[in-house]
Amino acid sequence: MIYHIYDKTKLMTVPADNAENRWFDFNDFYKFDGAGRDDIIVKELINSDDFLRMVLKKFNPNKNFISHCFYFEKPSGAANYLTDFIVTDAALNQFPTLQDRVKITQNALDFCAHTNVLNVARPIATFLNHSGHFNIKNPTACDSRLLATECERIMGNLADFSDFQLDCCMSPDARKIKGVSQNRNTDIIVVNDINEGNSIVKSFLLNGWRGNGYVCGLNIRVVMNSRANLGDNAHAIAKIAG
């Protein structure tokens, strides 16, 4: 079943329920106990804070670490070298610690393994490093190199890890010019904080990329797009419905 969660003060016209879809005001869904791990919870016209508060109360009793993956599909007609990718975390964890970013990366890898949205056997995860190299004067560059090394130690059997600039994540020419040896585009871009992530996500959305947002770290599938991006909810559901 797909449960669409809305705020009745914001959404006045509610679609009818059917065999696959049910619509709940978030206050009413607090009291509903019928949703299980095979169901999908979808954020419709509702503030993110209200939606998350409800989701965490109902589906995170063990207080698992949660994060957000924004999955982008390459637009039709885009350059051949471009590929689908994920940005994490651009919605939930505002200023994550290094330990948090390791957990964010683990959640993203788990999400890819459980859904196979990227259709790659061994993802590449890149920690954004705007220096493009290790630079002891730049704390972000130090953090990115440290995270790549630590995640390689902890999760090296699941993925490959790197640290460099955004253009090198997406362009073979940029990697060649800058001497980056990674042999294909990055699958999971791990941002430094929510401001950087939000800017990247919105930049791609404004340039015609289709994007879907998901909450990761729970034992239930959750679609969470922004209120300006709700038109992609159906597509987001289809990506994880299998």
What is the mean pLDDT, run by run of 10 residues, along the chain of 242 residues?
92 92 92 88 90 90 92 87 93 93 96 88 92 76 90 93 92 92 94 93 88 90 81 78 69
Residue-level pLDDT at 86: 96
Peptide bond between residue 89 and the one before it cis (omega within 30 degrees of 0): yes
Residue-level pLDDT at 230: 67
- The model carries a pTM of 0.90
Q: How far apart are CA 88 and CA 67, in angstroms?
A: 8
Q: How far apart are CA 72 and CA 90, in angstroms?
A: 13
Residue-level pLDDT at 189: 97
- 3-state secondary structure string, 78-97? CCCCCCCEEEECCCCCCCCC
Residue-level pLDDT at 28: 92
Beta-bridge partners for 190: 88, 127
Residue-level pLDDT at 72: 92
Q: How far apart are CA 41 and CA 162, in angstroms?
A: 33
DSSP character string of 116-148: -SS--SS-EEEEE-TTSS--TT-HHHHHHHHHH
If you search the block for the tokens 């390689």, which residue do you land on?
Answer: 152
Residue-level pLDDT at 136: 77
Q: How far apart are CA 19 and CA 52, in angstroms?
A: 26
Residue-level pLDDT at 211: 87
Residue-level pLDDT at 242: 63
If you search the block for the tokens 């993203």, which residue do you land on?
Answer: 108
Residue-level pLDDT at 64: 92
In contact, 40 and 55? CB cutoff 8 Å: no
Which two tokens mark 202? Answer: 């919105």
Residue-level pLDDT at 238: 82
* HSE, side-chain direction, 13 A CA sphere, residue 96: 30
Q: How far apart are CA 49 and CA 41, in angstroms?
A: 15
